[in-house]
């Protein structure tokens, strides 16, 4: 890296640091939740309210959200049972990454190293969730976070396989409920599934904030959808 590139990088880092110093609330969020986007405040607040003992996450990626869920749950009790489903690095392919608009996950072993701590019982299941969720012997989860594949068929399958094991007070969070130009350029499977739910049976809330990410077509705009039984 030449001195000009180093100077530009240092200037960017300094600018970000100054912005953080002027925003104490964001500094607290980073201390508590790491660098997770601001919409994840909803999920952390849900854990503190729900006090879940059994958590299911579909789409573990690098374990960022998983770690937050487990840490927040352990603050409220002595133990948490966590199930994480993903293709993980062992099975994911370039075709799946492109088709499902997925992010490249790390290996099961690396996730175990990151998440392992006293009080946390980990069940990490690798493979296509259309098969692994259907075959899993899951007890009724308190909290479900769905952030796996984004094709309609994948999201629908994940929802149907989890719906059958929910208890009356289970809460399900769908990530990547899209708006704006995202709906014309992204799979939009989450929107189709969430929008098709029978609202006489399910309470559906589309939660602020919206996080936006620059894309060639404009902005990828995403937020959480919270679903529970009425």
Does the pTM of the predicted model rise above 0.85? no
Spatial distance between the Cα atoms of 217 and 113, rounded to a whole number of angstroms: 38
Q: Is the pLDDT of residue 31 over 80?
A: no
Residues facing residue 212 across a β-bridge: 221
Q: Residue 210's pLDDT band (boundaries 50, 70, 90)? A: very high
In this predicted model, which residue has the larger pLDDT, 104 or 227? 227
**For the chain, what is the mean pLDDT?**
88
Give the pLDDT score at 20.
46
Q: Chain-centre distance of CA 95, in angstroms?
A: 21
**Which residues face 85 on adjacent strands?**
58, 125
How confident is the model at residue 88, as a pLDDT? 86
Task: Choose the weakest-confidence range: 11-20, 123-132, 213-222.
Answer: 11-20
Among the CATH numbers 3.30.70.260, 3.30.70.1230, 3.40.50.2020, 3.40.50.150, which is that of 36-229?
A: 3.40.50.150
Mean pLDDT of 22-41: 64
**Angle at which helices 64-74 and 40-50 cross, to 10°:** 30
Q: For residue range 130-172, what is the model confidence (pLDDT) as tens digits? A: 999 999 999 899 999 999 999 999 999 999 999 999 999 999 9
Strand partners, 58: 85, 146
Beta bridge partners of 83: 56, 123
User: Residue 94: pLDDT band by 50, 70, 90 thresholds?
Assistant: confident
Residue where the block lists tokens 């959200």: 65
Measured distance CA(215)–CA(42) in Å, rounded: 25
- Mean of the pLDDT values across residues 9-18? 61
CA–chain centroid gap for 25, Å, is 22
Mean pLDDT for 169-193 is 96
């Amino acid at each position: 890296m030449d001195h000009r590139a180093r100077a530009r990088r240092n200037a960017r880092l300094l600018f970000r640091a100054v912005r953080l110093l002027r925003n104490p609330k964001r500094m607290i969020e980073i201390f508590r939740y790491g660098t997770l986007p601001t919409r994840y405040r909803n999920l952390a607040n849900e854990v503190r309210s729900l006090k879940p003992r059994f958590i299911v996450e579909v789409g573990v990626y690098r374990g960022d959200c998983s770690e937050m869920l487990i840490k927040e749950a352990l603050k409220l009790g002595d133990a948490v049972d966590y199930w994480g489903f993903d293709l993980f690095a062992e099975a994911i392919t370039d075709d799946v990454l492109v088709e499902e608009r997925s992010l490249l996950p790390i290996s099961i072993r690396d996730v175990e190293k990151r998440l392992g701590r006293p009080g946390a019982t980990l069940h990490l299941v690798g493979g296509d969730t259309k098969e692994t969720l259907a075959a899993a012997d899951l007890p009724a989860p308190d909290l479900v976070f769905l952030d796996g594949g984004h094709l309609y068929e994948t999201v629908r399958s994940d929802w149907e396989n989890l719906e059958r094991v929910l208890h009356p007070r289970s809460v399900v969070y769908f990530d990547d409920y899209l708006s704006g130009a995202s709906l014309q350029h992204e799979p939009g499977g989450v929107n189709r599934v969430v929008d098709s739910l029978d609202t006489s049976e399910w309470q559906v809330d589309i939660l602020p904030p919206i996080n936006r990410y620059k894309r060639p077509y404009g902005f990828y705009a995403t937020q959480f959808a919270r679903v529970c039984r009425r």
